[in-house]
Amino acid sequence: MRLPWWNERKDLLEVAKSEILEQYLASDDEDEKAELLARYMSIDEQSLEHEKIWAEHKIDAKTWLATGTTILLAGATLFFEQTDVLHSKVVPLWLRRRFGGN
């Protein structure tokens, strides 16, 4: 989800790869092309590692479900405890009331 204040930023690895690609296409020297290709491949490996790290630390649906269930159960427990305490205070007063007008 993109928020309005989220700045679109270019990935530095993608910028470096595009610059190397431009240099590769403009070059005629085979040794320079081999060096540029090696640099491109090393940067590509780094970007794959970054994507792997992002994928490992992503919050999946199972985590959202477990967290939501835990919060819901905690809220239900607190609500029950609140009504149980109120019930335990009111019932003795209700049972001790006097009947009739005398």
**Side-chain-side CA neighbours of residue 97 (13 Å):** 8
**Burial of residue 36, with CB atoms counted within 10 A of its CB: 0-12 exposed, 13-18 middle, 19 or more buried:** buried
Q: Please tell me whether residues 82 and 51 are part of one structural domain.
A: no
The total number of structural domains that make up the chain: 2
Q: Among all chains, which residue has been given the structure tokens 């049972």?
A: 95
Residues 101 and 66 in one domain: yes
Residue 2 lies in a domain: no
Contact criterion met (CB below 8 Å) for 37 and 17: no
What is the model's pTM? 0.47
Identify whether 5 is part of a domain. no
79 & 89 share domain? yes
Domain that holds residue 37: 10-58
Does one domain contain both 80 and 93?
yes
Q: Average pLDDT in the 76-83 region?
A: 88
Per the domain annotation, does 1 fall within a domain? Answer: no
Handedness of CA 49, 44, 13, 60 (dihedral sign): negative
In the chain, % of residues over pLDDT 90: 32
pLDDT tens digits, 47-79: 888 888 888 888 889 999 999 999 999 999 988
Question: Do 13 and 40 touch, CB atoms closer than 8 A?
Answer: no
